[in-house]
Structure 1
Amino acid sequence: MMFPQSRHSASSQQLKFTTSDSCDRIKDEFQFLQAQYHSLKLECDKLASEKSEMQRHYIMYYEMSYGLNIEMHKQMNSIIRQQLQAHQLSQLQGLALPMTPLPLSLSQPTLPAVTTSSGLFSLSSLLASQAQLAKEEKASRDGVDSHREEDGDKSD
């Protein structure tokens, strides 16, 4: 079957028009996509710079927080140490141990610096042992005095 010539020329003109029109539409879409890509690229660059700025702020705030945390712990430890020393001092004043001279062979015990609750236990045991030594020394002195009195009674 054959097509009439007039119909064939019309379809070829329509085909040319459509091809040219399609190329223009493709060109317009390409330019639109290129503009969209450019705006998205600018937005991505802006977000990347904001991200790096936020990371910088985060690091700065983290360092400040860390420093404040360390400073707070130093002050808390200082306050606890002061309260502990005040408590120990009040306990020592409450005990009011008699100060007896030590025999020459014994040296004066020194009290260690106490900074923890376990230190309170060691301090109390040290004070208890010092009190025990004082009692033993007093008992030995009383024994020497009683021997002297007995010796004095015999010589009369």
Structure 2
Amino acid sequence: MIRDLSKMYPQTRHPAPHQPAQPFKFTISESCDRIKEEFQFLQAQYHSLKLECEKLASEKTEMQRHYVMYYEMSYGLNIEMHKQVLLETYGIRRGRRFASSENTTISFESV
């Protein structure tokens, strides 16, 4: 019971272009060797990219740590400057009050 394969599998795809006498005929072992070489090349590339990615991740972590440290220092400095301004402002006001009370006291004593 032999079937006609042309009816079973009609040619719906474009046939591959005919190539005159292919100069490169690879044996199975040559093909396996090429695949193995390409695989090793891709493995080496993957390994180097993975190392670079890990290096960049550690640099990113270090940069974030520095950012937090500088942010905390800046925030602390800002708080200290604000305190200093408040103390100076409070001191000036207190000094003015003291000076005006002294002037009032002196003017009462001289009368």
Relative to the length of structure 2, the TM-score reads 0.63
Amino acid at match of 1:65: S
Sequence identity, in percent? Answer: 62
Mapped partners of 1:76, 1:35: distance in 2: 61
Question: What CA deviation, in whole Å up to 9, does each residue of 1:10-69 have, x standing for no partner?
Answer: x9xx75x34433322211111011001001111111111111111221121111111111
Larger radius of gyration: 1
- The yes-or-no answer on 1:33 pairing with 2:49 is no
- The yes-or-no answer on 1:50 pairing with 2:59 is yes
Partner of 2:9: none
Count of residues in Structure 1 that have an aligned counterpart in Structure 2? 86
Partner of 1:60: 69
Q: Which runs of 5+ in 1 are unaligned?
A: 1-10, 100-156
1:91 to 87, 95, 100: 100
- Structure with greater proportional helix content: 1
Q: Which runs of 5+ in 2 are unaligned?
A: 1-20
Amino acid at match of 2:74: S
Partner of 2:82: 73
Question: Which gives a bigger RCO, structure 1 or 2 (Cα 8 Å, sep 6+)?
Answer: 1
- Where has structure 1 moved over 3 Å in runs of 4 or more? 90-99
Mapped partners of 2:45, 2:96: distance in 1: 74
